[in-house]
Amino acid sequence: MATQAQGLSLFEAARRMGVPFQREVEPQDKQVTVHGMNFHYLDWGTEGRQPLVFLHGNSQQAHSWDFISLALCGDYHCMALDARGHGDSDWASQGEYTVDAYVRDLGGFVDALGLEQIILVGHSMGGRTCYVYTSQHPEKVKALVIVDSGPRAISAGISRMDQFKQLPDLLDTYEEFTDRVMEYTGRPREQVAGALKHTIRQKPDGKWTWKYDKLLRTPGGTPPGWEPDRLWECIQKIACPTFIVRGSDSDVFGEDTMERMLQTIPGSQAITVPNAGHLVAGDNPSGLVEALQGWLPSVT
């Protein structure tokens, strides 16, 4: 449709956002079956190099890592997974969207692809999955990057995200969704219109809706997550090199939580990416790329 055509391509959007990349690379869409469910992931090539596995946040999908993968795929084997109920992966038939399920899925994905000594990079929900998995399978993880995620979240930020997810989820046009995301993120129309195709889908009746399970945006529709004390126990078990990233304007991941994580994980490092809220990879991708390119060589 017209607005989609006017949206920026990934490469043009990356250039405008100041994201450095070696060449124009399109990821391959791939599928893997884990525990009877089909999972979609993006493979950016350069197989045989150090594997980086990216996990997105709640209500997002693998393409939320496109800027970062594009910048890093010349030096690393970048793979971004759609979590259950998100993107093009299967929805959970019994509505099982729990910490245990996400961690089990990650383990199945790693085993199915025969990955060893991976570097995990996770944002928000994906960050939690990464550090819980690392605490349980330290032999599989070479290093860990946790982006704006910790055992305790700021309630104001969680409330803001919940309010956004609970807005009407059936709209008449692509443009209406573009307007909504622009208002929420503050990003330019062309950038939003170009990226939104990965996040929404058109139904047979012509209306548009989100491309993730409605249960995940239904109040009370999913079981509660783990309590902070249990998550802190996982943080205490992490011994691999760990890089903690916070958006300077995040209303979800507090500085106090970041400092406690630094004190708890031996040898860990942290950075605050400027001009970024909770959605660090989209708000300031060039800043996140710079941070990762500065840290990753120390663990590879």
- C-alpha 260, offset from chain centre: 23
pLDDT score, position 190: 87
Q: For the domain covering 11-155+228-298, report its CATH number.
A: 3.40.50.1820
Tell me whether strands 51-55 and 118-123 are parallel, antiparallel or unpaired: parallel
Q: In what order do the strands lie in the sheet with 208-210?
A: 170-171, 208-210, 200-202
Residue 86, phi then psi, degrees to nearest 5: -130, 150
What's the pLDDT tens digit per position in 95-116?
A: 999 999 999 999 999 999 999 9
In a 3-state reduction of DSSP, which class is residue 300? coil
pLDDT score, position 191: 87
What's the pLDDT tens digit per position in 30-54?
A: 999 999 999 999 999 988 999 999 9
pLDDT score, position 6: 59
pLDDT at 3 over 50: no
Of 49-53, 161-165, 248-252, 257-261, minimum mean pLDDT range: 161-165
Show the tokens assigned to 182: 């622009």
What's the pLDDT tens digit per position in 190-236?
A: 889 999 999 999 999 999 999 999 999 988 778 888 999 999 999 99
In the chain, the percentage of residues whose pLDDT exceeds 70 is: 98
pLDDT at 125 over 90: yes
pLDDT score, position 219: 83
Averaged pLDDT for residues 8-16: 94
pLDDT score, position 175: 95
Mean pLDDT of the chain: 95
Q: Which of 168, 167, 154, 179 is nearest to 278 (CA)?
A: 154
pLDDT score, position 2: 40
Q: What are the domain boundaries of the chain?
A: 11-155+228-298
Quote the pTM value. 0.96
